[in-house]
Structure 1
Amino acid sequence: MTALEGDGYLRAVTFTDHKSGASERRPIANLFLMIGAEPNTEWLDGRLTLDAKGFVQTGKGEDGKALASPFATTRAGVFAVGDVRSGSVKRVASGVGEGPVVVQAIHQFLNPGVA
């Protein structure tokens, strides 16, 4: 995507192939960015279990059994929420909603036996 055109509203988008240099302008009225569509998790490889696309797997241990939280990773005390989590719906509202939910699991991990 190399250009957005409009007059207060989006009217067109120009796409350019970076290899060939060819450009194509298309009439488009709406644009949605999926920033989390490609996880930046290479640094976690070998530290947490990642799926084939690089998203962090949560909710199940390496043995396949359910963990105490759907946001728990295979490393005790490490949780993942939002776009980086395998199986998440990759929407802002979901990530925002998962944040407060995981706080309870974090408190339980830090203070075992306290209700």
Structure 2
Amino acid sequence: MPRYYSESQILALVDDLTAPRLKAFVRARIVTPLSTADGPAYRETDLARLQLLCDLADIHELPEDSLPLVMSLIDQLNTARGDMRALMQAVAAEPDEVRGRIRTVIRHMRIVTVETGQGG
């Protein structure tokens, strides 16, 4: 069962999080709490995001106005990792012949990418 935290609990649990900072993160839609009859409810993922946001701003001295972009990039990376994990599972379920063809295509694509300078 998911665990939810109230605003006061979040403020107590996250180092260096203040009420104005929390409101700014919510206003910037970096964190989106659930609306409940008792007020905003925060999930475990919100707790982790808020701690990361405070660490990025305070420890790594990232300007707070850059945090939405940084978190968007982190979200995109996490989505891509999940997609890659699902793709790897799907490929692993295929017969050896299909996996071999996929490996051949990937090797070819890597060579073409290196030769044309389109890789990173």
What TM-score, normalized to structure 1?
0.26
Structure (1 or 2) with the greater helix fraction = 2
Larger Rg: 2
Task: Give TM-score, length-normalised by structure 2.
Answer: 0.26
Q: Normalized per residue, which structure has more strand? A: 1
